[in-house]
């Protein structure tokens, strides 16, 4: 599947406490790249800051998982927001967290499937 970039890439330094990027956009779909060579990052796309702020990563033995998608080192995932397939005009909130380490670079790009 191909994608069209809809805005600038936002880089965040993620750690074990959630980091929320407020992105002004017209999409609910983002390409999220974990640029770290060794550690996993977890990301989710939300319609409200409050939802993004409580995002968490899965823990061992947690049957419910977490509220975020795991991204392996140096890999990327396409993540669609928790507010359905319809894009919203305005601010979208992307939450990023890591399992343990700090300073993991994560790059977030708003995209549209073509």
Q: Between vectors from CA 12 to CA 88 and to CA 44, what angle results, nearest 5°?
A: 45
Q: Does residue 26 contact residue 89 with C-beta atoms inside 8 Å? A: yes
Residue 3 tokens read as 């994608």
Structural domains of the chain sorted by starting position, each given as residue range(s) with its CATH number in brackets: 3-113 (2.60.120)
* pLDDT tens per residue, range 90-110: 888 999 998 778 889 999 999
* pLDDT tens per residue, range 18-70: 899 999 888 888 999 999 999 889 999 988 898 888 887 666 655 444 578 88
pLDDT above 80 (res 89): no
- 3-state SS assignment for residue 50: helix
- 3-state SS assignment for residue 99: coil
- 3-state SS assignment for residue 53: helix
């Amino acid at each position: 599947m191909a994608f069209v970039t809809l805005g600038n890439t936002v880089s965040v330094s993620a750690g074990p406490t959630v980091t929320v990027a407020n992105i002004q956009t017209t999409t609910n779909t983002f390409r999220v790249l974990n640029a770290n060579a060794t550690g996993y990052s977890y990301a989710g796309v939300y319609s409200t800051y409050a939802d993004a702020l409580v995002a968490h990563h899965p823990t061992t033995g947690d049957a419910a998982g977490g509220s975020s998608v795991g991204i392996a080192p140096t890999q990327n995932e396409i993540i669609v927001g928790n507010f359905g397939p319809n894009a919203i005009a305005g601010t979208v909130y992307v939450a990023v967290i890591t399992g343990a380490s700090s300073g993991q670079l994560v790059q977030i790009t708003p995209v549209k499937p073509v």
